[in-house]
Structure 1
Amino acid sequence: MKIIKGDLIQLALSGRFDIIIHGCNCFCSMGAGIAQQIRKTFPPAFQADLETGSGDRTKLGNYSSASIKISETPLTIINGYTQYHYSGSDVLADYDAVAALFSRIKMNFSGKRIGYPRIGAGLAGGNWKTISKIIDHQLAGEDHTLVKYLSLQK
């Protein structure tokens, strides 16, 4: 896993990645965190989320996606279903779903430049050490980068 500081969305818009992935709940909200920013910047990604069943637990570990072009450069936005719901003080991240998601990403997007935030470790409250090990294992041999959001840096 490469680690850089920056803004995942701006880096995607500049052509740094072929694929960006963010974690979603299963209720088609995309109303907070980076999901909300993706919803505003890439409306087709939100539309792809809306086309899935709201509250469908079987989405966990799967994804919806939208492919767009930025200055003739293709970009795929992955809505990864890594948590069931979005409320409460418990850990909302589902580690098995994270593993299943990244296994699917490797199977379907091998060889692509992949960028993501700290999926499951922000609003979902998951343990980043655990999640990063899962991602590294599932994406072994791939070009994948954690983008640490600048405003979150101390």
Structure 2
Amino acid sequence: MKIIKGDLIKLALDGHFDVIVHGCNCQCTMGAGIAKSVKDIFPEAYAADLATPKGSREKLGSISAATVLRGGQHLTIVNGYTQFHWRGPGVLVDYAAVGAVMKEVKLQFPERRIGYPKIGAGLAKGDWSVIAEIIDAELEGEDHTLVEYLA
């Protein structure tokens, strides 16, 4: 895993990545955190989320995606269903779902430049050291980069 500091969305729009992945809940909200920014900047990604069954536990570990054209280049935004809900006490991220999401990203987008934030470690209250290990294992051999948010 490469690690850089910056704004994932800005870096993606500037051509640093072919695919960006962010964590979503299964409720089709995208109402907070980076998901809200994705929803606002890439309505196509929100439309892909809305095309999935709202509130379905079966979505955990799956993805929806939208490929957009911005500034003359194609960018794929992956909504990774890594948590069932955004409400409730304790850890909300599902670690197995993170693994399944990243396995699917590797299958569908091999040999692409993949960027992501600290999926599941912010609002979902997961342990980043655990999540980072999962991502590294599932994306082994791929060009993938953690973008630590820097305002």
Query: TM-score range, shorter-chain basis?
Result: over 0.9
* Structure 1 position 132 matched with structure 2 position 125: no
The letter for the 1-side match of 2:83 is Q
Secondary structure, aligned partner of 2:97: helix
Deviation at 1:88, TM superposition (A): 1.4
Give deviations 1:56-113, integer Å, cap 9, x for gaps: 1110000110101122211000000000001012100000000011011111111000
Show structure 1 runs of 5+ residues with no match: none
Alpha-carbon separation, structure 2, partners of 1:77 and 1:141:
20
* Structure 1 position 59 matched with structure 2 position 59: yes
The letter for the 2-side match of 1:144 is H
Give deviations 1:99-138, integer Å, cap 9, x for gaps: 0110111111110000000000000000000000000000
Deviation at 1:141, TM superposition (A): 0.7
* Structure 1 position 13 matched with structure 2 position 13: yes
Alpha-carbon separation, structure 2, partners of 1:72 and 1:16:
14
Residue in 2 that maps onto 1:150: 150
The letter for the 2-side match of 1:119 is I
Residue in 1 that maps onto 2:23: 23
Does the Cα contact within 8 Å between 2:13 and 2:71 map onto a contact in 1?
Answer: no
Residue in 2 that maps onto 1:90: 90
Secondary structure, aligned partner of 2:39: helix
Residue correspondences, number:
151
The letter for the 1-side match of 2:150 is L
The letter for the 2-side match of 1:23 is G
Residue in 2 that maps onto 1:37: 37
Using the aligned pairs only, state the percent identity: 58
With structure 1 as the length reference, what TM-score do the two structures score? Answer: 0.97
Give structure 1 regions of 4+ aligned residues with deviation exceeding 6 angstroms.
none
Alpha-carbon separation, structure 2, partners of 1:38 and 1:148:
16
The letter for the 1-side match of 2:136 is D
Show structure 2 runs of 5+ residues with no match: none
RMSD of aligned C-alpha atoms?
Answer: 0.6
